[in-house]
Structures are given as C-alpha cells and as structure tokens.
Amino acid sequence: MGTSRFVDRVVLHLSAGDGGHGCASIHREKFKPLGGPDGGNGGHGGDIVLVVDPQVHTLLDFHFRPHIKAGRGGNGAGDHRNGARGEDLVVQVPPGTVVMDDNGEVLADMTSPGMRYIAAEGGHGGLGNAALASKARKAPGFALKGEPGEEHDIVLELKSMADVGLVGFPSAGKSSLVSVLSAAKPKIADYHFTTLQPNLGVVTVGNGTFTIADVPGLIPGASQGKGLGLDFLRHIERTAVLAHVVDTATLEPGRDPVSDVAALEEELANYESDLAGDTGLGDLKDRPRIIILNKADIPEALELAEFVEQDLTDAFGWPVMIISTVAHKGLEQLKYKLMEMVTEHRTHHPVADEDARTIIRPKAVRAKKGRGKSGQGHDFEIRQDPDIDGGFLVVGEKTDRWIMQTDFDNDEAVGYLADRLARMGVEEALFKAGAQEGCPVTIGGVTFEWEPMTSAGTDPLLTGRGSDIRLEQTHRASAAERKRASQARRGLIDEFDFGDGEQASTQRWEG
C-alpha cells in the first residue's frame, strides 16, 4: 500500500515554444518569368498557460514532472504557405496557487476557477520574404528567423483557501475537531505531528456553509524552522478566522492555556513580518480570532478551562468556547459562532464573481507585437560596455529580437538589419554617445565593429539576391568567403587551392 505525499511548493522549469522561421522563396512557374517572392511566415511558438481548475487539489504532479515545454511554431514554405502556430500548453493548477519568480516576487495570485495566467510566451514567428518585399527590395533573398520562446523558472505555492484555520500545539485536537464538524476523515492518533498535511472540511450551519482547515501542529520556534517549520504556516494566510485550539488536559510541564496562546501568537507575528515583505499578505494581526478550549470531557480539563476562561478574555479580548470533541459538547454553539464570524468577514470582504474568466499576462502591452512608434527612439538605450574599453551596449527588447531574427550568413539580411536599426535611430544615438568608427558595439549578445553606414535607412541599391553592395565596401567577409572558409574548416575543400571551378566534395576529407 503506497503512502500519499503532500506537495505545496514546487519549482517549474518553463520553455515556451520557439517561433518558426520564415521562408525565402521565389515563385517559379511556366510563362511567369517574374513570379516574385512567395515565402510564407513562420508560426508563433506556443504559450504556457496556467488555468485554475477546481478539480485539481495538489501540486504533486509537478513535483515529478517539473519540466514543461510548449510546441514549436512551424516554418514557412513557398507558395505563401505560413507555418502552423505552436500548440499552447495548458496546465491546470488548484485554486489558491500563488505564482512567484525566482526572487519571491508574486506574479499572479490564482484564486477564481477559470483564471488564466500566461506564464511563458512563445516566440514570434519570422517573416517570409513575401512579407518583406518593398519597392526597394522587390525580391528579397532572405527571410527572418523565428524568435526563441521564453525560458525561465517559476515557483508555485499552494495556500489553502479555508474560511476558518485551526492552529495549536501538536495533539491539541485540531484534526478531531475537523472530523466532528464536517465529513472529513483526517488521520487521528495520540502522538505529536500526526497531521502532516492540511485537512480541509466543509461545515453546514442551517442554510450556510463554511470551510475549515487544520494546520499541522506548531511549536515555539516554528517561524525559525523548528518542528515542521514554515512548511504549513502559509496555509493560514487566506483564512478569514483564526481559531486557537488549546489542549486543557495536557500533562506537559510549563504548559497552560494563556501561555500556549501567547506562544502561538508570537510565532504568527514572526511569520507575518516575513510574509509582509514576501507576498504582501501580512495582515494576520487584523484577522478575527477565537479561542477553543478542548478536551472538556475530562473533569480536570473542564475545571481548568472554566478557571482560565475569564483570564483569556481579559488577556486577548477574543471569544472563548469550551468544547469536547469526544463527548460532542459545545459543538453546536461553536458552529454558529464560527458561522457568525465568517459571515461578518464575507460582508466586509466580498468575493469576486467566480464566473469571470480573468486572463493575466506578464506585461500589459508586449513590445514584440509591434505596438509603439519605433522611430521615436524610445525602444532602446545606449550604455557604456563595462567589459570592453571604448565599447557600447544597445539595450532594448526590440533590438534584441531583431538580432535573433537575422541570418548573419546572408549579406542582404544584414543590410536589412542595418536599415531597421538606422530608422530606429540607433546610429544617431551612438554618434551622440561618442562612438567612434571601429569601436565594438554589442546588441543582443552579438558584438560588431561599428562601421557607420551613411546610406543605412535609405533604399538600398539593387544587387543580386542575398547580397548588399554596401557591405561589399567594407572589410567584412562576404557570404561566399564565409561559406568557403566553413568548407575548408570541415575538410571539404583544400584551403590553399583557389583554382577556378573548384567544387566542394560531398565526402568528408580524410587526408
């Protein structure tokens, strides 16, 4: 018989789908000598979307399969055929899941069924040469490459969404109270830390209902990691009412109801100080409290409970109830008191419509969709390169994406990139920043020797497909030279033989 595991915090490694590459194709058909470009666009990569599903109750599946990858976009093809969009990967998470980044910053608090959060966006598909055609480039000999999808880690934390949270020392009778107030059947035994996972039950009172959950036993020092530590304190963050369950029949020395409640309140205060800076939910001190004195079926325990009832009221000012889960004493009065406190909290904290389908995106407007006026020069920033003397960095989401989409083995594609950067104002900004000809400029992780192109941004001179006459005027190796050098490195041709008509061998050189 296998043992169940409770997992309420997991780290997921997300990889959204890459965008498909655009196609560089020329339409060739009999009696149509000028068919023109017909390369299709690449498809966008699939997104990774988290969706709240009330039928999911745990994060256990993610514990065993933490790597999540969405589908890749299809490549474009000739005859204006666009690549298929990558399939989105929809991941169901339970209500109460909090999504955070590596630094603990909350990205989404997923509470309502149907709420969607796009955790990683797929890469943009590259344009085919049909979409790149213009009056200057009537038949582009290049296409844009697909953009890689987002890759990052996120942290999922599951926090129980109960109306009433039971806190107390181990063996105070919290699980027993849940079992007698609801239909839940948690594990109950006479030793400490029997409960190793929060138990949730539904309590019916007249025409109303509320949920109740017990948290594994706390001990002094829990906020510093003692006992079960912080593993389950997060499950009381969402509770409307906090109920202190006190064992009045304990035989442990130095234990009494007043000191027990005071010790637990100290742990909650210590946890709240960390919680306020972590998730912004640090309002535990404002939650209504109630003190439940349990095990009144034992005469000595009942006598102690009646003795300290007024002391607890004077010390904390909260309602005090005396019950026995074994003898079912005081349970009806406790139910109605808890229902009254929960109803009051719901009145002051209305819940949003659960039927609303909320979609959360990491950014309100994504730059890659092409919104905004790039000509104003607000999409990038020029910085001094801290690693290279006299070097500069061009930092911007749009410029980085253009670098990833460029095929640097194609001179015409490089010329098109230069034109885009010039129209955006990058060259002008480099001049103003003090860049000199030949200085290293890094864009999107690629470093160039900057050669100001006075004609960049204007209509290029018509040349052969895949070439740009402006690049031939520089010291940069041409596409043919780079291809020959690559073949020489792989041993396909003789590096020192420049005879006319030499053809690369299809077999790897084995000299």
Helix (H) or strand (E) holding 268: helix 257-278
Bridge partners of residue 97, in order along the sequence: 110, 158
Q: Which residues contact 352 (CB under 8 A, 6 or more apart)?
A: 112
Number of other CB atoms surrounding residue 211 within 10 Å = 19
* DSSP category for residue 409: T
377 CB contacts (<8 Å, ≥6 apart)? 424, 425, 428, 429
Q: Which run of H or of E encompasses 338?
A: helix 331-348
**212, 178 contact by CB (below 8 A):** yes
Could you tell me the two tokens for 57?
């109750």
Residue labelled with tokens 């920043």: 433
Bind-site residues: 168-175, 193-197, 214-217, 294-297, 324-326
Cα–Cα distance, 102 to 118 (Å, whole number)? 17
For residues 322 and 293, what is the distance between their CA atoms, to the nearest angstrom?
Answer: 5
Scored b (16 or more CB within 10 A) or e, 350-376 reads eeeeeeeeeebeeeeeeeeeeeeebee
For residue 238, give both structure tokens: 């969402």
Annotated binding site for Mg(2+): 175, 195
Closest CA to 405 of 448, 431, 357, 368: 368
Q: What are the binding residues for GTP?
A: 168-175, 193-197, 214-217, 294-297, 324-326
The phi and psi torsions of 15 (rounded to 5 degrees) equal: -135, 105
Q: How many CB atoms lie within 10 A of CB 111?
A: 18
Among 160, 147, 91, which Cα is nearest to 397's?
147
* CA separation for the pair 83, 4 (Å, rounded): 45
